[in-house]
Chains A and B, each alone.
Chain A
Amino acid sequence: MSNTRLIARLDVKGSTLIKGVHLEGLRVLGDPQEYAKRYYAEGADELIYIDVVATLYGRSKLTDIVRRTAEEVFIPMTVGGGIRSIEDVRDMLGAGADKVAINTAAVNRPDLIVEVSRRFGSQCMVLSIEAKQQAEGHWEVYTDCGRERSGLNVVEWARRGEALGAGEILLTSVDREGTRQGFDLQLTHAITSVVGIPVIASGGMGKPSDLVDVVTQGKADAVAMADLLHYKRATIGEVRQAAKSAGIQVRAYESV
């Protein structure tokens, strides 16, 4: 077993950290930089920044946020939202990102996955999938932050993404996102059972024990947390402790 990674996810709009429910109804929380620093100090294994409106407006203030964060935060950073081209990827990596998460642009042009993984390595290419349940055991891929239907089946798209060169999958359940009801275990398991690359479960973490379920039942390799951390309902240290107590292997970390 590898260590299960505990990832803090920060959704941003313009220059502010926001949090929604089902990726909608966004609430403004504050300066993402301050939150990022707190999670770094608490022992997050990685950070994910997603610009939730970049796809709509085609521009991103994200590079600035990433650049500032990278001056003070020394853990891997994945950045997504509005990334459409090799140039966009290069800009993000130049600003301090280690990986990029791509959803909409990959759905529109799957060859982008091939290009990014060839040019920067598959470890850099995270396929972001926003999944919405349509029927029992059936999920559809959504783009533009849960707003547009794509017609793609999530399980098939995950498989295809891996074949095209994605190194990791960020799997967000739109149904659970922001609800604190726990992860969609069925969805997570449906993906982890068909791909060989790591899957980050995202959406619905309401309490530390939700992590235990998505790792033991969903077989997630990593867990993204937002709401739980942003509203200080738990610290990463508490989540780490809960994981350890349940026998889940996590990084040894002592806060400094």
Chain B
Amino acid sequence: MSQSDVVVIDYGMGNLLSVCRALQRCGANVQLSSNPDVIRHAPRVVLPGVGAFDVAMAELQRLHLVEVLQGVAARGTPLLGICLGMQLLLDESEEFGRSTGLGLIHGRAVSLKVPSLECMGLKVPHIGWSEIYPSESCSDWNGTFLQDVKSGEAMYFVHSFMARITNEGHCLSHCHYGDLIVPAVISRDNIHGCQFHPEKSGETGLKLLRRFFSL
């Protein structure tokens, strides 16, 4: 059905073109689609996203993509959520009250706004380059899509919410923002998410995207 290497979900949330261009740069044949049939048959799926959690979930529902994405995940298709797309993989978000997510990795999206950050003069949203490190539960990135990235390399973040993961084993990498330990990469089997924008993180981000194609 689909001749592409990867389908990027087109649901009107954020700058999808940057994601497509970065994937193309990695040599991939990229298709942008919101068609359930195309997505079901995709060899790989990327869920990008910038904006509000509840709006994004409402859009996915309107396009009948919630179950499609859950099905794709259940069948073992490699799925990568980026930024808001990563937070959508979780059970829920506390953004605007409480909104239900895709429930593919257990956890919730919580606000970065904590008093300690303000005391340190740190701003929300967290915008800029932050170094990422292996999480305690993950001493080694070998065999993961972070394999080619070195501990301490920096990625570009823009976010006001962060993931709080139920099972720490699902967190491969984190960054520090003030005294917060922010999950940077989460992963469970074929389901992956990164809080930063690999498509805007220079060659380091592209290394990660390239590796996504060998998973």
* A interface residues with partner B (beta carbon < 8 Å): 1-3, 5, 40, 43, 45, 70-72, 74-76, 93-94, 96, 98, 121-123, 167-168, 196-198, 251-253, 256
Contacts and interface: CB of A to CB of B under 8 A. Distances in A.
Contact of B128 (A3, A72, A253): A3
B171 interface: no
Interface stretch (B14-22, B69-77, B184-192): B14-22
Contacts of A74: 18, 21-22, 25, 199-203, 205-206
B123 interface: yes
Greatest chain B CB density within 10 A among A1, A2, A40, A197 is at: A2
A71 B200 CA distance: 12
Interface in B119-157: 120-123, 125-131, 152-154, 156
Interface of B: 15, 17-18, 21-22, 25, 50-51, 120-123, 125-131, 152-154, 156, 158, 177, 199-203, 205-206
B158 A123 contact: yes
B128 A2 contact: yes
B122 A2 contact: yes
Contacts, number: 72
B96 to A, nearest CB: 14
Given A40-B202, A75-B201, 14 more contacts: A2-B122, A2-B128, A2-B177, A3-B128, A3-B154, A74-B202, A75-B202, A121-B50, A121-B51, A168-B127, A197-B123, A251-B154, A252-B131, A252-B152
Contacts of B18: 70, 74, 96, 98
